[in-house]
Amino acid sequence: MNKADRVIIGVTDCGKKFPNYENWIKAHGSHVEVVKLGYRFNNLNEANNCDAFLVTGGEDVHPKFYNKPEYLEILDVTDVDERRDEFELKVIELAEKNSKPLLGICRGLQIANVYFGGTLVPDILTHLNVDGHNKDEDDDDSLHHISVARGTELQKIVHETSGEVNSAHHQSADKIGDGLRANAFSKEGIVEGLESNSSEDAPGILLVQWHPERMKNQLSRFAGNIREWLINEAWKWK
């Protein structure tokens, strides 16, 4: 296939769960190519060839990157990878400076919020006394409803103002980063989505706390429409 006939999506490495994201993106069609980006491959240069980016889920962001180093004491240090943080912050910087579309999923939302100057709730249960966002006792994603703010880009994408999504996180956005706005919330007020606060002509930035790539109902607008958005934005940039 000619290069002009395909879009290239840079997807950040997240270890054993990477195929979930890769397969989800590739399921859109043969015109989509995935490039795995990660510090283990030292291939930030390949990001220059990508038309859009997906920053994946995974470890906690080291709190030093949002000026809360004291939070490290309450985190599992084996679930923190500073090298990944540093690499993904560079990917997000490259996306911003080159006006390339960016989709962040779970941790992807969190580190993008940090990049733009935001902070994180280090643990939803202990800091906000809210349960039901992490995995359940059977290690399956929790399910809960969210409300979508009217007039946001997310609302235009999913054509809904509420819906059910999956959930597997113990952190969330606290202070919202510069140039971003919240577009979805859980019933407890947890931020479930962020997006660019710029004009419609600005490059797309969509960040979601749920996992569209592994929702059981891939026909849900909160899964399929998210992927469609990313591919469309990649074509627009191209």
172: Cβ–Cβ under 8 A, 6 or more apart, which residues? 110, 120, 121, 124, 133, 190, 191, 209
Instruction: Let me know how many helices (H) and strands (E) the chain has, helices first.
Output: 6, 11
What is the pLDDT, as a whole number, of residue 132? 42
What pLDDT does 185 receive?
A: 96
CA dist list (Å): 129 to 43, 75, 115, 215? 40, 16, 26, 26
Please report where in the chains the tokens 């399921």 appear, as a residue.
27
Structural domains of the chain, with CATH: 3-237 (3.40.50.880)
Element containing residue 178 per DSSP (H, E): none
Which pLDDT score is estimated for 201?
56
**pLDDT of 197 above 80:** yes
Residue-level pLDDT at 1 = 61
Q: Where are the beta strands (DSSP E) in the chain?
A: 7-12, 32-37, 52-55, 102-105, 120-121, 142-148, 162-167, 172-173, 180-186, 191-196, 205-208
Residue 169 annotated as catalytic: no
- Catalytic hit among 14, 106, 169, 233: 106
Contact assessment for residue 149 and residue 184, using Cβ atoms and an 8 Å cutoff: yes
Query: 167: pLDDT confidence band, cut at 50, 70 and 90?
Result: confident
* 213 among known catalytic residues: yes
**How high is the pLDDT of residue 168?**
81
Q: Which one from 62, 133, 169, 211 is the annotated catalytic residue?
A: 211
Do residues 154 and 193 lie in contact, with contact meaning Cβ atoms separated by under 8 Å?
A: yes
The Cα–Cα gap between 172 and 120 comes to 6
Contact 100, 203 (CB under 8 A): yes
Eight-class DSSP state of 167 = E
- Residue of 22, 88, 153, 213 marked catalytic: 213
| Lowest-confidence region among 1-15, 62-76, 83-97, 193-207 | 193-207
The β-bridge relationship of strands 180-186 and 32-37 is unpaired
